[in-house]
Amino acid sequence: MDLTTAPTIPATGPTTPSAAPLKVAVILASNREGRFAPVVADWFRTHTDAHPGIGTELIDVAELDLPIALSYRPDADAQARLAAVSARLAAADAFVVITPEYNHSYPAPLKNLIDWHRAEWQAKPVAFVSYGGVSGGLRAVEHLRQVFAELHTVGIRETVSFHNAGALFDDTGRHRDPAGCDAAAKVLLDQLIWWGHALRDARAARPYDA
């Protein structure tokens, strides 16, 4: 056989990953009066806003009016209240949850947001930024990992956590000694971007149905 005239076998499936920026939903998990969450969210978004591979949207549970009673068959009112946030979650390629720790776990409004949805979370990566007292919110993150695993998400291993968070930021919201948390944020985002592209390309090639 003349190898110079051998037929070319066409490639199957996508060969080039999508280069479009990842759509990252940054979820602010606390609705407590006097919450510290916006300070942490603003700090985190200075990192995402400077990253050319990411486009972010903030989803604040304090601004949502979700029904409290879960239902497999929500009525018209519940569907209307869910519609806007459901579409925003569905459009996201990846998630970052910014959460405090309440009584060794995460806030109830976040659980409500999670439980009202399923397909919107599936086959997407989720990362965690936590804050609190001595524990830095890490016990809330460990609970969230179990919940999101049940929803077929991919949890990012690295986290950013702020221990005794109130003392770490000045009155303008700037971190007083940012080297460590800035480095942690870079690692978290590097992993989130890798998984975000990998899973987005995979969903495009073969829709996920669990």
**For residue range 47-59, what is the model confidence (pLDDT) as tens digits?**
998 888 899 999 9
For residue 24, the SS3 value is: strand
Residues 74-115 pLDDT 10s = 999 999 999 989 999 999 999 999 999 999 999 999 999 999
Mean pLDDT of 16-29: 86
Q: What is the spatial distance between Cα 208 and Cα 192, in angstroms, rounded to a whole number?
A: 19
Q: Which CATH number goes with the domain that contains 90?
A: 3.40.50.360
pLDDT at 124 over 90: yes
Of the pLDDT bands very low, low, confident and very high (cuts 50, 70, 90), residue 4 is very low
- Indicate the Cα dihedral angle 164, 170, 176, 181, nearest 10°: 60
- Asked if residue 147 is part of any domain, the answer here is yes
Type of residue numbered 193: I
Name the domain count of the chain: 1
Residues 160-185 pLDDT 10s = 999 988 899 998 888 999 899 999 99
Q: What string of H, E and C letters represents the secondary structure of the chain?
A: CCHHHCCCCCCCCCCCCCCCCEEEEEEECCCCCCCCHHHHHHHHHHHHHCCCCEEEEEEEHHHCCCCCCCCCCCCHHHHHHHHHHHHHHHHCCEEEEEECCECCECCHHHHHHHHCCCCCCCCCEEEEEEEECCCCCHHHHHHHHHHHHHCCCEECCCCEEEECHHHCECCCCCECCCHHHHHHHHHHHHHHHHHHHHHHHHHHHCCCCC
- Asked if residue 173 is part of any domain, the answer here is yes
- Asked if residue 179 is part of any domain, the answer here is yes
- Asked if residue 115 is part of any domain, the answer here is yes
Of the pLDDT bands very low, low, confident and very high (cuts 50, 70, 90), residue 19 is confident
For residue 94, the SS3 value is: strand
pLDDT the model gives residue 12: 42
- Asked if residue 177 is part of any domain, the answer here is yes
- Asked if residue 74 is part of any domain, the answer here is no
- Asked if residue 3 is part of any domain, the answer here is no
pLDDT the model gives residue 172: 86
Domain range for 33 is 20-65+80-204
pLDDT the model gives residue 17: 53
- Asked if residue 14 is part of any domain, the answer here is no
* CA 156 to centroid of chain Cα atoms: 9
